[in-house]
Amino acid sequence: MPYTAGDHPHSPSADRLRETIPGWGADLDPADRPSVPKERLDLETGAHWDMPERQPETTPRERSIEHRMLTPVFGTAQPLHGVSGVIRRYAYARFSEGRAAHWLLLVAADRVEASGAHLRSLASLRPDNPVTETGVLGEGRRRPISSRFGRGRADLGHMWLDPILVAGPWIVAAGVAVAVVRAVVRRR
């Protein structure tokens, strides 16, 4: 008990552990642990430059204002566009990573972009399909009942929220669209 300076709770002896656990203690010596010490200056990384060559910036690239310059290498996937791009560019240009506004604006832009992408897809040859894109069609092959029930899962209490989160915006949007159409028809 910790109320006295007594022994640490009992554990098996090293010999016993070595017999029963393959590899027990192989890294007991911290010198055998690759990330001990945390920082080392003697590692070979393969870099044959002091400063990497700079990747060409073919279109203006947003960056954190905590960076003094655009990093020498950067991702070029999904460049900024549209309304979400305006929000994101503002979040990067105005707020540091230390400001909640930076991240909350980026989260808001994510939702704006997702809504716009869903709407645009309806006018495309491949509209979003929430049934196939959520993967629920695979349920039948993956033991949906026995995987979920009778196994003491703690997430059963909120699992019902997922379909609402996924389908809810679609249902609301469809309801608004129907209401608008009906209102227009009535005015005529």
Report 95-114 residues binding other proteins (CB under 8 A).
97, 100, 103-104, 106-107, 109-110, 113-114
| Neighbouring C-alpha atoms within 13 Å toward the C-beta of 13 | 3
Minimum CB separation of residue 171 from other proteins in Å reads: 15
CB 85 within 8 A of CB 93: no
Question: Binding residue for other proteins (CB under 8 A) from 83, 132, 149, 172?
Answer: 132
Both tokens of residue 66? 């905590």
Nearest distance in Å: CB 117, other proteins: 4
Q: How far is the CB of 94 from other proteins (least distance, A)?
A: 14
* In the complex, least distance from residue 28 CB atom to other proteins, rounded to whole angstroms: 4
Are 70 and 88 contacting, i.e. CB atoms less than 8 angstroms apart?
no
Judged by CB under 8 A, which of 15, 59, 67, 187 binds other proteins? 67
- Counting Cα atoms < 13 Å in the Cβ hemisphere of 24 gives 11
Is 152 one of the binding residues for other proteins (CB under 8 A)?
yes
- Work out which of 123, 143, 184, 185 binds other proteins, going by CB under 8 A: 143
User: What is the rounded distance in angstroms from the CA atom of residue 168 to the CA atom of residue 130?
Assistant: 11
DSSP assignment, residue 43? Answer: -
